[in-house]
Structure 1
Amino acid sequence: MRTTATELPVEYGSSERQIVVVVGAGPAGLVTCKSLLEAATPDYPFEPIILEQEDNIGGTFRYRSYENSNLVSSKQLTSFSDFRLPLDHPDHLTLDEYNEYMRDYADHFRLWPRIHLQTKVINISRDADRGGHIVTYVRRLTPGAEWETSPRTIRATYVAICSGLHVIPSVPTIPGIEYVTKPETKRKDSAVEPAVFHSFEYKSRSQLSGRRIMILGTGETGMDLAYEAAKAGATEVVLCTRAGFLSFPKALNDFEVLGFKFESDRPVPIDTLITNLAETAYVHPWVAASHIRWFISDFVIKRVLWILTGTQAGCNQWVGELEPDRLGRAYVFLNKSHKAMPYINRLYRNRPSSLDHLSRYIDPPEDSPPQTEFAVDLAPFPTRFLPSGRAVFPSSARKDAQRMQARDVRPDTVIFATGYRQEFGFLDAAGGYATPAEADVRNIVRAGDESVAFIGFVRPGVGAIPPIAEMQAFFWITLLKGQVRTPLPPPHYHLLVKETARIKYGVDHSTYVSTLAKDIGAAPGLWELWWEYGTHVLVCYCFGAAFTVFYRLFGPFRSPLAPKIIQTEIWDTITRRGVLGNVLMGVIPMAFYLTLNFAAYAAETLWRLAGDPGASSRYTHRTM
């Protein structure tokens, strides 16, 4: 039965229990709570409790969801390591399905008594008398009711902040935006009321029907909204991008090469394609520091895309391309909401039909009703709106900008799909608390203040936050127990951004989670992997992506469920690529990167022999 606790403890015992306050009941908060419970020992008597201000669990996945929304990350990657979905379940869940998955997770691991809903943290301060932290909160009895006026407190040994990246809407200032909703800008033949709102307020297609819509932002939400607007019967859709995007489908679809059609009833999720051996595991530090793996894979992928689709900007992406110095895995978040691309491409696709006979990528089929002539206009962000309601676009050499200069765009609906910002007003200013940007130990804690962790505050270029949050929880717990391997090697997992970049918390999923696994002693060696689990698991580890379940074969969070999951579900993702796919995306890259890493090891050895005896001791321990 799903019930939550009604009373919270007010103090912690110095030896009997260590209260851990977890702020937020999204996936990061749930997996942190569960991991703490399982890691508790007499020496570390963790007692986690979750404080959640909403009336249900799920966080962003529940309260930022909308009609027809789906996860763009696969179930194989997104599911927690020891609580999996059925093998025959579709690869990509709806948000409703994922919310039910989280409720089942809380059921299975008996988390409900530790979850306190409608409990809002308003202050976290240092406990000067007893050490630890004083967490101040308020509650309400029913959804929508006023918060109680008398705050309560709880003393905690540790605090895990899992409140999420996507909570407070970010709304840029655009001069004249108020003209969009002025009565005089409304068309006389239109029955719609002009509107300006952030995407978190969008819930259903009925909000888009019959409107002239401008969407600001080409992240996955913006692309979803462009598609939904087209399907809703919007009269005009203009999708505005700051500097371009990198579009890929969430699963590889069908394609043809020299008349041979490669198709599958179960397309392979894009986030399961990156292999482990020599690209994530067994990488020499010099190779890791240079990021050469990312640059090489980008080079190859661009050429393959050109052959298959005629463009290198993205997968069958003919407009909205990024600047050349930002185009690739090392720089940006992959946009896996691909449904709107056929509508966007219609105005720009210019591949000669003769090349389509050589190779052709086949976009996923549209759902009904089809709109074969409708197009979504791509545009730069408007600089301002005139009193007439007309949008003014900046001059640029971009082809979409050139086209929009001649357009008279007067939207009656503007939607800010401009993301979210992070604020931590509940952290007492006098306490000297860090923020996620200041968490210099694996982006989780600040050195010297390990009692406060930020879980779920990095974003992968290709991947998912929930499994990253699970690995972060593992790292933090191991750190609290003093079992993390030191010294920590340099963090070579961050996406490469300029100092002026708006988002600086991007990471390469595979590199980041494997780094954490090495730090806590959970990354398996090939020999010990084969010796204990056999060839089947070894092959899965080499050819599979950096699934968290691999890091539960050894180390402090070893699970008896891991081998079976790997031999069934993970094996299925590998075999679905087919022989050709595994040769092209597995054998060839692994052979190349093994050669590259071997060369680095050889160069290091020669360097050491030539007179730098400290080189080996500085690097060798970082490579496994």
Structure 2
Amino acid sequence: MKVVVIGAGPSGLVACKSLLEAASEDFPFDPVVLEQEADIGGTFRFRSYQNATLVSSKQLTSFSDFRLPFDHPDHLTLEEYVEYLREYCKKFDITDRIRLETKVVNVSRDPAGGHIVSYVSKAPSGEWEVTPRTINASYVALCTGLHVIPAIPAVPGIEHVLNAENHVESGVTPAAFHSVEYKSRAQLVGRRVMILGTGETGMDLAYEAAKAGAKEAVLCSRSGQVDLFPHALNDFEIFGFKFNSKKSSVPIDSLITNLAETAYVHPWVASTHIRWFVSDFVIKRLMWFLTGTQAGCNQWVGELEPERLGRAYVFLNKSHKAMPYINRPYKSRPAILEYMSRYIDPPEDMPPHTDFTVDLAPFPTHFLPNGRAVFPSSKRKDAIRIQKRDVRPDLVIYATGYRQEFSFLDKDGGYPTPGDADVRNVVRTGDESIAFIGFVRPGVGAIPPISEMQTFFWISLLKGQVKTPLPPPHYHLLVKDTARIKYGVDHSAYMSTLAKDIGAAPGLWELWWECGTHVLVCYCFGAAFTTFYRLLGPYRSSLAPQICKTELWDTVTRRGLLGNFIMGLIPMVFYLAVNGLALGLELLLTLGGLVRL
């Protein structure tokens, strides 16, 4: 069964490897990976920039059975991650299945069944072949990624920014480009920089501008920033005691515990999302105590409107390094509260000169003929402040994300898009031979481990091993119909749902009997790591128990006794009680004939 995997980023690589391991006499999967670039790595290789690091931890991002060294830092540079992917290919012998510089130009339905994949390769001259070649495939896995084609919104008057006559005094050549073209701080030195977009890339660029010695940096957001948190829980001082040891820092994406919040959740509790709203309430109060703000960790400006502020609605922004520069005009907190608790700006993130500020602003409505930005009137603190400024950037960077296009899918083939994938965001009902792997975005988490679980789900679906009917999907982030991004999911809820669908979510008694107390406690207190779903079930791995007892257990012990009591035991007891009440009510209604089990 030939399987064409399109894309050699982490999603494509884990799909190829998983298909190979799942091959059997009845399902002889024979995957080949087609990649149009000259190397593997996808976005992490070809849309990276100087000083970029993963904001997701190695514990979560690493694949379930191929881990990084235990003593390696929690967060990798992009170069280190691409090297990890290369070693992954070598370890599982998939390098020879990857065809680089091979571009898919068309995927059409094969009248005999399956798909005809047409592709061209790059000749030694560097030109693409004119005449396509074809592969007859039983299945196609689309792994081209969310971050490929730049999305560049129209801003009226941008041509005035690019008019060199408006920048004669500065002596620089004006420019405007998408963040995909940003590579190093040299592009920012001495510039008046305007960054459109306050996602993780936008925040990174604001920090880079400050460190590069830009003359000015203005960071523009459409409707406020998403919740800001450092990627590791650290750098706090409480009553004079400092908690800023890098060795004991806890990656933020490993804090959500499993038992009763992710695993073993009653359907009624899952459908109400009570877990999200309760954790939002607690986290906001904790952030206020620790840093003085509820919008994010030490975030004094740019907060979202109240109805969008919380775990249920947004993607957590874990690029936090620019906040010391952004906070300056706004931070104000009584000395007594600052003594009780405060966030410590890491020394390496502090401004190189004391007067530099990154100004937050709304998106400009347009630019005047003289190159000056015009901003909309608003009650936002940053909007009021920026109205007093004469902002005339000589460099505009669009950190405005990406859009998805699948022009190679034959228009007459009736092919779905990721938005049509109604079966766990992986396939469309009745069209299981083409899958979308890696096309959801977690609120807090990482795409590579999700891609691994999606591949397991797809394989189980093809083999007829998925439990049906599927329960309702209670893992999507809550967004308005007008929202630009509608493929957001809660990482842990989504992972747990896929695991239950394929019979990989372990029962507590069975887990204790098979793997022992150590692994059981780690599973209950740990986050939704993919390795947990390989302890038992159809994708069981002999490596999983040892990974749990070492690397994943370390994420639990780092929290300390107090941390595990506050962030582990208390939530577990509370959510167990909530789930118990829901179960008890269901049983009573069932006995009364009002509900059928």
Query: TM-score by structure 1 length?
Result: 0.94
3-state DSSP class of the match of 1:196? strand
* Equivalent position of 2:73 in the other structure: 90
AA aligned to 1:277 is L
1:196 is aligned, of 176, 193, 200, to 176
1:216 maps to 2:211 = no
Distance 2:260 2:439 in 1: 27
Pairwise CA distance, 1:374: 1.1
1:290 is aligned, of 248, 266, 272, to 272
Pairwise CA distance, 1:359: 1.2
Distance 1:378 1:222 in 2: 11
Distance 2:353 2:336 in 1: 26
Distance 2:132 2:341 in 1: 65
1:425 maps to 2:407 = yes
* Equivalent position of 1:265 in the other structure: 246
1:41 is aligned, of 2, 15, 24, to 24
AA aligned to 1:401 is A
Distance 2:55 2:515 in 1: 32
1:499-557: CA deviation from partner (whole Å, max 9, x where unpaired): 00000000000000110000000000100011111110000000000000000011111
Q: Compare 368-377 and 440-449 and name the one that shifted more.
A: 368-377
1:103-128: CA deviation from partner (whole Å, max 9, x where unpaired): 00001111111000000000000001
8 Å contact from structure 1 (residues 231, 371) kept in 2: no
Distance 1:369 1:591 in 2: 44
1:390 maps to 2:372 = yes
Pairwise CA distance, 1:253: 1.5
C-alpha spacing 1:206/1:600, structure 2 compared with 1 (3 Å): same
8 Å contact from structure 2 (residues 230, 297) kept in 1: yes
Distance 1:296 1:368 in 2: 34
Hey, which bits of structure 1, 4+ residues long, moved more than 4 A? none
1:113 maps to 2:93 = no
3-state DSSP class of the match of 1:414? strand
* Equivalent position of 2:383 in the other structure: 401
1:328-382: CA deviation from partner (whole Å, max 9, x where unpaired): 0100000000000110001110112221111112122225873332110000000
8 Å contact from structure 1 (residues 485, 520) kept in 2: yes
Pairwise CA distance, 1:72: 0.1
Aligned counterparts, 1:305-384, within 5 A: 305-367=287-349, 370-384=352-366
Distance 1:570 1:178 in 2: 52
Q: Percent of aligned positions with the same letter in both sequences?
A: 74
C-alpha spacing 1:349/1:613, structure 2 compared with 1 (3 Å): closer
1:77-119: CA deviation from partner (whole Å, max 9, x where unpaired): 0000000001100000000000000000001111111000000
3-state DSSP class of the match of 1:21? strand
Distance 1:368 1:406 in 2: 26
Distance 1:369 1:319 in 2: 18
8 Å contact from structure 1 (residues 216, 415) kept in 2: yes
3-state DSSP class of the match of 1:218? coil
Pairwise CA distance, 1:257: 2.2
Structure 1: gaps (5+ residues): 1-17, 617-624
8 Å contact from structure 2 (residues 196, 398) kept in 1: yes
8 Å contact from structure 2 (residues 586, 595) kept in 1: no
1:434-492: CA deviation from partner (whole Å, max 9, x where unpaired): 00000000000000000000000000000000000000000000000000001100000
1:252 maps to 2:210 = no
Pairwise CA distance, 1:433: 0.5
2:151 is aligned, of 164, 170, 179, to 170
1:527 maps to 2:509 = yes
C-alpha spacing 1:31/1:325, structure 2 compared with 1 (3 Å): same
1:133-166: CA deviation from partner (whole Å, max 9, x where unpaired): 0000011134x81111011111000000000000
Distance 2:246 2:386 in 1: 40
3-state DSSP class of the match of 1:350? coil
2:218 is aligned, of 221, 226, 238, to 238
Aligned counterparts, 1:419-568, within 5 A: 419-568=401-550
3-state DSSP class of the match of 2:250? coil
Distance 2:246 2:9 in 1: 33
1:34-82: CA deviation from partner (whole Å, max 9, x where unpaired): 0000000000000000000000000000000000000000000000000
Structure 2: gaps (5+ residues): none
8 Å contact from structure 2 (residues 185, 208) kept in 1: yes
2:61 is aligned, of 60, 72, 78, to 78
3-state DSSP class of the match of 2:233? coil
8 Å contact from structure 1 (residues 393, 401) kept in 2: yes
3-state DSSP class of the match of 2:567? helix
Aligned counterparts, 1:15-54, within 5 A: 18-54=1-37
Distance 1:37 1:255 in 2: 46
Pairwise CA distance, 1:613: 4.9
8 Å contact from structure 1 (residues 253, 363) kept in 2: no
What is the CA RMSD across the aligned residues, in angstroms? 1.0
8 Å contact from structure 1 (residues 240, 379) kept in 2: yes
8 Å contact from structure 1 (residues 119, 137) kept in 2: yes
Distance 1:454 1:248 in 2: 30
3-state DSSP class of the match of 2:136? strand
Distance 2:220 2:412 in 1: 41
1:227 maps to 2:214 = no
Distance 2:246 2:156 in 1: 49
1:371-419: CA deviation from partner (whole Å, max 9, x where unpaired): 3321100000000000000000000110100111111100000000000
Distance 1:81 1:523 in 2: 14
1:574 maps to 2:556 = yes
AA aligned to 1:173 is A
8 Å contact from structure 2 (residues 324, 351) kept in 1: no
C-alpha spacing 1:613/1:417, structure 2 compared with 1 (3 Å): closer
2:38 is aligned, of 51, 55, 63, to 55
Distance 2:43 2:240 in 1: 44
1:176-214: CA deviation from partner (whole Å, max 9, x where unpaired): 0111010211142x2321000000000000000000000
For these two proteins, the number of residue pairs brought into alignment is: 595
1:314-338: CA deviation from partner (whole Å, max 9, x where unpaired): 0000001000000001000000000
8 Å contact from structure 2 (residues 419, 425) kept in 1: yes
1:183 maps to 2:164 = yes
C-alpha spacing 1:613/1:207, structure 2 compared with 1 (3 Å): closer
AA aligned to 1:169 is P
AA aligned to 1:335 is N
Distance 1:529 1:363 in 2: 42
Pairwise CA distance, 1:427: 0.5
